[in-house]
Structure 1
Amino acid sequence: MLTSPLRIAFIGRYTEGQTGIVRSIYMGLLENGHEVHEINLSKRLKIIFNPYRNFGGFGPVYIKWEMIRDEVLSFKPDVIFICAGGLTFKPSTMDKLKKYSTVIGVTLSDPDVFPSVSKFASEFDIHTTNSPLSYEEYKKLGMDNTFYMPFGIDSRFFQSREPDEKYQSDVSIIGHYRPYRLEIAKELLQRFEAKIFGRGWPIPTEGPVYDEEWFKAMYSTNIIINFPTTGAGYTNVKVGVFEAAATGRLILTEYFEEMENFFEYDKEIVGYKDKDDLMSKIDYYIKHPVEARKIALAGQKRCMEHHTWKMRLQHLFQSFTLKDPSLKWEEID
C-alpha cells in the first residue's frame, strides 16, 4: 500500500493532445504529489516499434528500451507507468525491468482491445482496465494482476473558460464520426442551434478540436450528447461523460446500467431511450434552462467529489503493495 510519493517514469502518447485521457492521467499523478519523469512518445516516435501496425489501443506496440535506458537509469523510478496505446516492452526486457521497478500497464480502450491486450497483460506487475466486462474476462484467464480503474478527470477541467462566439451553441456533439451517430447529428443540425466537432464526419462540421480549442468548444455549449457505444459495438461508460460533467455541461446519454455507478439519471445527467426521446428532451431543456443548469451543476459536483484521476490513482495504488525490487538500478546490466 502506498504511504509516500513515488518516483514514476511515465510513458505515453498524447494522441488526443493535452486534453486527452493519457495526458489527464499524467496530471493526476502530479496532483497526487508523485515525482514524474515524462516520456512523451508523441514527440519521440522513434522510440516506438510497431511491427504489427496496431493502433487505437490495440497491441502489442513495443517501447524500445535501448532508446530510453539512460534517462530511466538516471531517474531510478519506483514505478514504470505505461499508459495505454497497446504499449509494452518485449518480454525479455519486461522480465529484466521488473527486477528493478514495479511495472504498471494501463488499458483504456477495453472491451474493444481485449482480444489483443489479453495476450500480454499478464506480463505487467500491475495491469488496469477501464471495462468491468473485460475485468471479468481477464480474471477468467487467471490474470490476478488486473484491476478495474474507471475513467476520471484532472483538475484542469474544472477551471471555467469564457464562451467563444465561434463555437456558441445550444447543443453539441464533441466526438469523432461513427455511422450510428449520423442520423442524430443531422437532426440536431436541422432542429437546433447545434455544433458537431470531430474527425471523419461526412457532413459539414467544425472539425476536431484539441487542447485549448477543446475547452472553448465545451464551454461554449449548454448540452452535450454522449454516445456510450464503442467502435466494436459494446456499451460502456466513456471518458467523455466525465469531461462534460467536469465543465458543468448538461449531459444527455442513453440509459444503461453501468452509468448508474457514476451518476444519477435525471438528477446529475439526463437519460434518453431513443432518438425521438433525445430530441424531445433537448427541446425541453433548452426551454427550461434553470432546470438544465441545476442538473448540470449537480453532475459537476459529483464529478469533482468522486471522479477525478487523483482519486482513481490513489485508489489504485492503495489496492496493491509495491514490490521491493530484487536489484537496485545501479546494478542493471
Structure 2
Amino acid sequence: MIVDTRPNLVLCAFRSGFDTYREAFEALGYEVHMDVWRPTPEQLARAALCLLNVYEGVRMPWATLQLKRRLRRACVPLIGLDRDAPWHMGIHVRRLKLFEWLKLLDIYATHTLQPTYAFAPVKHYNANAVWVSHFNLHGRTLQEMRNPGFFRWDVSFVGNMDGVRYREHAERQRFLAALAPALKALGLRVLFRSSGGMSEQEQIDVIQRSVVNLNYRSSCDHRSRAGVEMSWGLPERCYGVPARGGFLLSDERRHAADDFVPGREWASYRDFDDCMARVQYFLSHFAETRAVAEAAHARVMREHTYGRRAKRLVDLSAAWRERLYNSRS
C-alpha cells in the first residue's frame, strides 16, 4: 500500500475571525486545525504551514516563541497574517518592536508593502480578497444592472460610522457627515448608513441598487501615532462591492494598481472636492460606470478570492521548506 506523506494539514494560531481562509484551505483539500499553540507530533508531521494572527502573536510573544520552536524542528513555516498595517490595531510601539526583534515569523503576509516593521525575512503582499460563498451576485445578473431603472440610490455607504466609540473611524464619520448634505443639495438619492443592525440581505440590496458605492478609509488607516501614513492596502470592501456587482468609488490606494487596472477596473478620488466631482461624473456617464463595475467584478472573481490567496500561501510554504532542506544538506 502506498501512503501519501504529503502535508495535508494547516495549523492556525487564530482564536477567531479566520472563516475566510479556513474555507479556502478546506476547498484546496487541507484539513484545518484552529487555535493551535502547542501542536502535537502528529499534527507537526502532517502540517504544511502554520498561520498566525500577527496581533495575537504580538500580544503573546513568549507563547509564539514556543510555537515557533516546535514548528522549526518539524520544518513547518510560521506565517503571520496582517490586515491592519500600518495602524497595527493601535498596539503599543514597544510590543511591536519586541515582536520585530524576536524575528518569530518565517513569512510576513501583509496587505500593504509600505515600510512598517520587519517581522520576517520574507515579506509577501497578501491583499484582502473576496469570500466567494458570501460575496457574489446572489441571484442577480450584471445584465439587470445595466438598466438605470434598477437602482434605488445614486450614492451609498454602508459600514461603521461611529467615530465616538471607534476612534479609528472618526475621520470617516466627519467626511461622510459633510459629504451627505453636499450630495443631497444636488438632488441625489443618498444613503449613508451604519451596518450595525442591518441584515446581510439589506446590505446586499444597498450595494447592488446603488449606482455609486463609496469607500472612505478603514481602521488600518488610523493615524494612531506621529508619522504613520494612510495604508497602501485595499480594505475588504474594495473586493466585496465588485463581487456583488456594485460600482466602487474609493479613496486613493497605492496598491490599487497592483490589483486592478485604473480607469478600467478601478475608480478613485483624491479628496472631498474630487469625490464630489467624480460622483457627478460617474452618475452622468452610466454606461462607463457599469463597464468599470463589470470589469472589476470579473477581475475579483478570477484573481482576488481567498482561494487564490490560500493557494499562494501553500506555494510559498513549499518553497520555504525546500530552501530550508537545501540549506541543511
Q: TM-score, normalised by structure 2?
A: 0.69
- Letter of the 1:254 partner, please give it: D
Alpha-carbon offset, residue 297 of structure 1: 0.6
Deviation readout 1:263-313 (Å, 9 max, x if unpaired): 222221222232122123223333443321111011111222222222223
Give CA deviations for 1:127-151 in whole Å, capped at 9, x if unaligned. Answer: 322211147x41xx7x314333222
What is the aligned partner in structure 2 of residue 153 from structure 1? Answer: 130
Identical amino acids, percent of aligned pairs:
17
AA matched with 1:131: T
**Paired amino acid for 2:23:** M
Q: Distance in 1 between matches of 2:199 and 2:25?
A: 21
Q: Which whole-Å CA distance do the structure 1 matches of 2:153 and 2:11 have between them?
A: 41
2:23 equivalent to 1:32: no
Alpha-carbon distance, 1:95 to partner: 1.6
Q: Distance in 1 between matches of 2:24 and 2:31?
A: 12
Aligned residues: 277
From 47, 50, 72, the equivalent of 1:77 is 47
For structure 1, list consecutive stretches of 5 or more residues without a partner in the other structure. Answer: 16-21, 40-62, 199-205, 327-333
Secondary structure at the aligned position of 1:224 is classed as: strand
36 and 222 in structure 1: CA distance in 2 versus 1, 3 angstrom threshold: farther
Structure 2 residue identity aligned to 1:79: L
Provide the residue aligned with 1:176 in structure 2. 160
Instruction: State which of 87, 90, 96 in structure 1 corresponds to 2:70.
Output: 96
Find the residue that maps to 1:319 and give its secondary structure: helix
Work out the CA distance in 2 between the residues paired with 1:72 and 1:168.
Answer: 56
After TM superposition, give the deviation of residue 194 of structure 1 in Å.
2.5
Deviation at 1:14, TM superposition (A): 4.3
Distance (whole Å) between structure 2 residues aligned to residue 210 and residue 117 of structure 1: 37
* One-letter amino acid of the structure 2 residue matched with residue 278 of structure 1: C
**Structure 2: how far apart are the matches of 1:316 and 1:278?**
36
CA gap of 1:74–1:6, structure 2 versus 1, over 3 A, is: closer
**What residue is the counterpart of 1:252 in the other structure?**
249
CA–CA distance in 2 between the matches of 1:194 and 1:126? 43
Aligned to 1:48: none
CA distance in 2, matches of 1:312, 1:189: 36
> Contact 1:10/1:38 (CA < 8 Å) preserved in 2?
yes
Shift of 1:236: 1.8
Mean Cα deviation higher: 219-228 or 70-79: 70-79
Structure-2 change in CA distance of 1:74 and 1:95 (3 Å):
closer
Question: Are residues 274 and 308 of structure 1, via their aligned partners in 2, closer, same or farther at CA, if it must alter by over 3 Å?
Answer: same
1:189 match: 180
Q: How far is 1:249 from its partner?
A: 1.4
Distance 2:214 2:191 in 1: 11
RMSD value over aligned CA atoms? 3.6
The structural deviation recorded for 1:81 is: 1.9
Q: Secondary structure at the match of 2:255?
A: helix
Find 2:265's aligned residue among 245, 252, 268: 268
Structure 2: runs of 5+ lacking an equivalent:
141-150, 162-168, 224-228, 325-329
8 A contact 2:136–2:245 mirrored in 1: no
**Match in the other structure for 1:286:** 283
What is the SS of the residue equivalent to 1:155? coil
Partners of 2:48 and 2:314 in 1: CA distance: 12
The aligned residue for residue 124 of structure 1 is 105
Between the aligned partners of 2:303 and 2:269, the Cα distance in structure 1 is 24
> 1:152 aligns to what SS in structure 2?
coil
Give the counterpart of 1:110 among 71, 78, 85.
85
- Compared with structure 1, are the counterparts of its residues 216 and 30 closer, same or farther at alpha carbon in structure 2 (3 Å cutoff)? farther
SS in 2 for 1:96: helix
Structure 1 pair 182–72 and aligned structure 2 pair: CA distance change class (3 A): farther
User: Using the alignment, how far apart are the partners of 1:309 and 1:300 within structure 2?
Assistant: 15
Q: In the alignment, is the contact (CA less than 8 A) between 2:6 and 2:46 conserved in 1? A: no
- Tell me the TM-score normalised to structure 1 length: 0.69
